[in-house]
Amino acid sequence: MTYTLYSMQSSGNCYKPRLLMHMLGIDFRLIETDAGTGITRKPEFLALNPNGRVPLLILPDGRRLSESDAMLLYLAEGTRFLPIDRYERALACQWLFFEQYEHEPTVAVARSWISVYPDRIGKATLEQIAGWHKGGYRALGVMEKRLADHDWLVADACSVADLALYAYTHVAEEGDFDLAPYPGIRAWLDRIAAQPGYVPMDWRPD
Ligand SMILES: N[C@@H](CCC(=O)N[C@@H](CS)C(=O)NCC(=O)O)C(=O)O
């Protein structure tokens, strides 16, 4: 028995567990699920994840786990990607919650409309994009404050916090975000891409 990941290749949320499992040498099966077609809102998928979204991870024992950052925490347990120290572990969670509340709803959503579903953009969406850019630049500014003089978001090692925020920051330019004014973030992106076991977003298991 191995892990099964319901995943959409263009999704940064789905990239998070794909990347960490590859970095940890964990074998998994991938079921490509085009969430843009509404398939995750059909009864068959809702029976697996009542929230109707990918990624969805099926553990080797058959139990299910949704929410990409929860998957990172689960998979990273006992590995170098999850700090042991109580405060550092809480800091990792601090960045994961920041990612879901401040970063993903702005940086990822702008990229999704601009690069993944450009044909669906209407007048209302154009106004929303301005708001996502404002919020996204604010989130990038928070990250830059830390990364201007630190290699990693938590302590001195690459952790789940870095992988969670990497997923959509490294494709932020696809959402028309300009990363030129963020040298700390750009150096950090290169640092993550140089980590052992790193695979790009378009990688998938055989
Ligand atoms: N908070 C969730 C967000 C998951 C999410 O938004 N998934 C999108 C793809 S990136 C999806 O499945 N959308 C289809 C839908 O909402 O119907 C996570 O981090 O896993």
Q: Is the CB of 55 under 6 A from ligand 1?
A: yes
CA 55 to ligand 1 center in whole angstroms: 7
Q: Is the CB of 53 under 6 A from ligand 1?
A: yes
CA dist., res. 155 & res. 153, Å (int): 7
Angstrom distances, CA of residue 127 to CA of 85, 92, 145: 43, 33, 28
Task: Please give the pLDDT value at position 195.
Answer: 98
Mean pLDDT by 10 residues, the chain (206 residues): 96 98 98 97 98 98 98 98 98 98 98 92 86 98 98 98 99 98 98 98 95
Task: Please give the pLDDT value at position 120.
Answer: 87
Q: Which residue has the tokens 């938590």?
A: 154
CA 21 to ligand 1 center in whole angstroms: 19
Task: Please give the pLDDT value at position 126.
Answer: 86
Q: Which residue, judged by its Cα, is nearest atom 11 of ligand 1?
A: 53
Angstrom distances, CA of residue 24 to CA of 4, 32, 61: 15, 21, 19
Q: How far is CA 140 from the centre of its chain?
A: 15
Task: Please give the pLDDT value at position 121.
Answer: 86
CA 42 to ligand 1 center in whole angstroms: 14
Angstrom distances, CA of residue 157 to CA of 5, 75, 191: 26, 17, 11
Q: Which residue has the tokens 């950090």?
A: 188
Q: Quick one: tokens of 59?
A: 């553990």
Q: Quick one: tokens of 50?
A: 């009542």
Q: Which residue has the tokens 């052992």?
A: 196
Angle between helices 86-98 and 68-76 in degrees, nearest 10: 160
52: left (phi over 0), alpha (psi -120 to 50) or beta: left
Angle between helices 160-169 and 86-98 in degrees, nearest 10: 20
pTM of the model: 0.98
